[in-house]
Structure 1
Amino acid sequence: MRFDDAPDRFKSGNASDRFSGASGVLFEQAMAQTRMAICLCDPHAKDLPIVFANRAFRQLTGYSESEILGRNCRFLQGPNTDPEPVARMRKAIADEDVVVVELLNYRKNGTTFWNALHLGPIYNDKGELVYFFGSQWDVSDVRAARAEEQHAKEMARELSHRMKNMFAVISGIVNVTGRVRGIQGEAAEINSRIQALGRAYETTLDDASSGSIQISEAIRAVLSPYDRDEERLKMVGNGVRTPFTTISIIGLILHELAANATKYGAWASEAGMVTVNWYVDETDNALTITWEERGGPQVDSEAIEAGTGTTIVDRLLSGGRGSITREWRDTGLVVTVKLPRRDEA
């Protein structure tokens, strides 16, 4: 392999004399041929000039070899370059130390890029400082992704705040309407559903920026108020992710099941237990939630199935292309809910 990419000044001048033997040749070849942008600076010359910049460095910055050699790396800085990482670089050079910084640099055409710069000393076999090595990596896309993620989190927090206010306003309207019309019981029933939705959304908004959520957080948030002693509810699901659009359906379904269990089912008895499981059914790629009650009293299944809550659940699932099966076993109610996981559902 020939060392054709290196400038004559680097190959034949005093700088190249600081290396000797096969290791020096391999070093020079590696510096020239790597696709990572690299430059070497001479610590023994005034103002630490660049004595070598490989092809990748020139392509990254847009400058030619003649425009780079002999200049300090600061020529890549501009009006919006943060002085803090620059100060860290100066300290590392003074201490002959290694430093990694991210700073805003400018190309020849004036466009900017975020540079992840790795700066460090290079010594010869005698332990003498011969160069400062700098590798540059354009991390503009990485920075943009970080900024986008941070923005999404901020938006999620703001959305969470606004949704809490929205649910509070709706709840207040329902209460006022209930008192004016003398239907406080119906208003309380509606408000319980509103509160269940609020709990389901509140715990999942931060996660929703990724487009999907871990359904376990929503399930726990909706059901935890019904298990205040933490002894009558068993949740055994795993970290399944599902489209954020399913949260309303899941929240309301679980609320209706929990409300019925409290009035008529397992939680109407001191010995009653409810087990909730959730997983992805590999046969149809559907989010599957099972609800199993044990230890409750005998239930009038026909009365429950004719109730408002059952109608709400069935219509929600129909609109979401889901399904529900109810089995009235001797041990208690067993419900299986299936929801497609694809966003288009």
Structure 2
Amino acid sequence: MTGFPTEATAFPPGFTVDVFAAAFEASPTPMVVTDPRRDDNPIVWANGAFLGLTGYGRDELYGHNCRRLQGPATDRATLAALREAIAQGRAFECELLNYRKDGTPFWNGMTVNPVRDADGAILYFFSAQADMTHKHRLEAAMRDTNGALEREVGERTADLRFALEQKTALLHEVDHRVKNNLQVISSLMLLKARRTPPGEARDALQAMAERIGALSTAHRMLYSEGDAARFDVSAFADDLIADLAAAHEACAARVETEVEPLALPAAMAAPLALMLHELAGNAFRHAFPGGRAGRVRVSARRDGAGMELVVEDDGIGLSAGVPNPTGFGRMLVEMVVRQLRGTIAWSEAAPGTRAAIRVPLPAEAAP
């Protein structure tokens, strides 16, 4: 392939530069090579996937710097960090808003690595890239949806707060109706998911239906509590984890709970339900592939002025899992933890995964 760099390259017998170049050219991953030894570090090679991603021809790219893909909304801070990494000869990874030849913007996920000779001198910079536009659109849609839901919940809560505090019976009735409505919404989303072709949209509908189901469970438990303002976190966690285990009965993992009796404000029920659903549910779904046996453990205890909640498993662990760039569960957990003014620490449990959450408790929380 014309223009493909050949210096300081070693191949096994029969594996020539031409074979190597042909393999890169046939790759569906957009790839580009620049030469920092030339003025302005120009592009010296790009494969067909890169041309398809950008809309440019080779004659329009070769000899030009990659800034040709930049535009008015390209983040300058990220560009500065990229230039600094190139100047220092180190690898760099980012997602950058670029523009195709026709002016269409797209999110470009790229990894940039230096290519050195035997003496360590940099010959080229090689970058593998990916169109991340769909991921960003999904994230933006989720943020908009969450923002609208949060605003609606906030408005309704503000309207009802005074009356609910004065009338415990009304609060029970509201919990009962919310539970029923959430169950209806969850059922509708599950029905839509079943009628949606397999893929990201179906998975997203299924996941959201399950989350709404967890919220429905939280309201069911609040409705059954004698004290409308508080709930027992021990019984709450036992019931929620039992529901999760029943929903994932195909998983061979056993469930252990060790939760201290602690009366928490009713306002913490929904966030706690979401956290337990995401963390324990993720363990059931992903920690034990192939029907392997294992353990999922949930514990909670008072820790000074706060509560420590730990969800851990002895499954395959974070490093062995399949990366999911469009995943929403971990972001949701971290968002809920921030909402509760808490902290979360993810770690390998050797074996397995451990998530340790600490949230402050209001003064009225009682053992």
TM-score under structure 2 normalisation?
A: 0.51
The aligned counterpart of 2:262 is none
Q: Is 1:42 matched up with 2:35? A: yes
SS of residue matched to 2:213: strand
* Structure 1 residues 75 and 193, CA gap change in structure 2 (3 angstroms): same
SS of residue matched to 1:226: coil
* Structure 1 residues 233 and 139, CA gap change in structure 2 (3 angstroms): closer
The aligned counterpart of 1:263 is none
What does the per-residue CA deviation read over 1:67-125, in whole Å, with 9 as the maximum and x for residues that have no partner? 01000000100011111111111111011111111111000111110000111101234
Q: After the TM superposition, which residues 9-28 of structure 1 pair with which residues of structure 2 at under 5 Å, given as runs?
A: 9-10=3-4, 15-22=5-12, 25=17, 26-28=19-21
SS of residue matched to 1:131: strand
* Structure 1 residues 20 and 229, CA gap change in structure 2 (3 angstroms): closer
State the one-letter code of the partner of 1:216: T
Q: After the TM superposition, which residues 253-272 of structure 1 pair with which residues of structure 2 at under 5 Å, given as runs?
A: none
2:47 pairs with 48, 54, 59, which one?
54
What does the per-residue CA deviation read over 1:117-157, in whole Å, with 9 as the maximum and x for residues that have no partner? 11110123443321101111101000111111112221221
SS of residue matched to 2:3: helix
1:76 pairs with 63, 69, 91, which one?
69
The aligned counterpart of 1:222 is 223
The aligned counterpart of 1:196 is 175
**Number of equivalences:** 216
Q: Does the CA contact (< 8 Å) of 1:39 and 1:135 recur in 2?
A: yes
Q: Does the CA contact (< 8 Å) of 2:8 and 2:117 recur in 1?
A: yes
2:243 pairs with 219, 225, 238, which one?
238
The aligned counterpart of 2:213 is 213
- Tell me, in whole angstroms, the C-alpha distance in 2 between the residues paired with 1:108 and 1:232: 59
The aligned counterpart of 2:302 is none
- Tell me, in whole angstroms, the C-alpha distance in 1 between the residues paired with 2:74 and 2:107: 10
The CA deviation at 1:220 is 3.0
- Tell me, in whole angstroms, the C-alpha distance in 2 between the residues paired with 1:241 and 1:161: 32
State the superposition RMSD in angstroms. Answer: 3.7
- Tell me, in whole angstroms, the C-alpha distance in 1 between the residues paired with 2:246 and 2:145: 18
- Tell me, in whole angstroms, the C-alpha distance in 2 between the residues paired with 1:52 and 1:196: 62
Q: Which moved more, 1:221-230 or 1:101-110?
A: 221-230
Q: Which has the larger radius of gyration?
A: 1
- Tell me, in whole angstroms, the C-alpha distance in 1 between the residues paired with 2:108 and 2:231: 55
Show structure 2 runs of 5+ residues with no match.
190-204, 248-367
The CA deviation at 1:51 is 0.3
- Tell me, in whole angstroms, the C-alpha distance in 2 between the residues paired with 1:171 and 1:9: 73
The CA deviation at 1:198 is 8.1
1:162 pairs with 132, 147, 155, which one?
155
The aligned counterpart of 2:106 is 113
Q: Does the CA contact (< 8 Å) of 1:213 and 1:241 recur in 2?
A: no
Q: After the TM superposition, which residues 90-169 of structure 1 pair with which residues of structure 2 at under 5 Å, given as runs?
A: 90-168=83-161
* Structure 1 residues 62 and 190, CA gap change in structure 2 (3 angstroms): same
The aligned counterpart of 1:86 is 79
State the one-letter code of the partner of 1:38: M
* Structure 1 residues 119 and 229, CA gap change in structure 2 (3 angstroms): closer
Q: Does the CA contact (< 8 Å) of 2:172 and 2:223 recur in 1?
A: no
Q: Does the CA contact (< 8 Å) of 1:199 and 1:222 recur in 2?
A: no
- Tell me, in whole angstroms, the C-alpha distance in 2 between the residues paired with 1:64 and 1:36: 17
SS of residue matched to 1:100: strand
- Tell me, in whole angstroms, the C-alpha distance in 2 between the residues paired with 1:223 and 1:229: 9
What does the per-residue CA deviation read over 1:204-234, in whole Å, with 9 as the maximum and x for residues that have no partner? 9xx9992432143223333345396959968
- Tell me, in whole angstroms, the C-alpha distance in 1 between the residues paired with 2:3 and 2:111: 24
* Structure 1 residues 169 and 124, CA gap change in structure 2 (3 angstroms): same
- Tell me, in whole angstroms, the C-alpha distance in 1 between the residues paired with 2:246 and 2:73: 41
SS of residue matched to 2:244: coil
* Structure 1 residues 18 and 139, CA gap change in structure 2 (3 angstroms): same
State the one-letter code of the partner of 1:54: N
State the one-letter code of the partner of 1:139: M
State the one-letter code of the partner of 1:223: S
The CA deviation at 1:164 is 1.0
- Tell me, in whole angstroms, the C-alpha distance in 2 between the residues paired with 1:230 and 1:133: 57
SS of residue matched to 1:213: helix
SS of residue matched to 1:121: strand
- Tell me, in whole angstroms, the C-alpha distance in 2 between the residues paired with 1:161 and 1:119: 44
- Tell me, in whole angstroms, the C-alpha distance in 2 between the residues paired with 1:111 and 1:232: 53
What does the per-residue CA deviation read over 1:237-279, in whole Å, with 9 as the maximum and x for residues that have no partner? 322899xxxxxxxxxxxxxxxxxxxxxxxxxxxxxxxxxxxxx
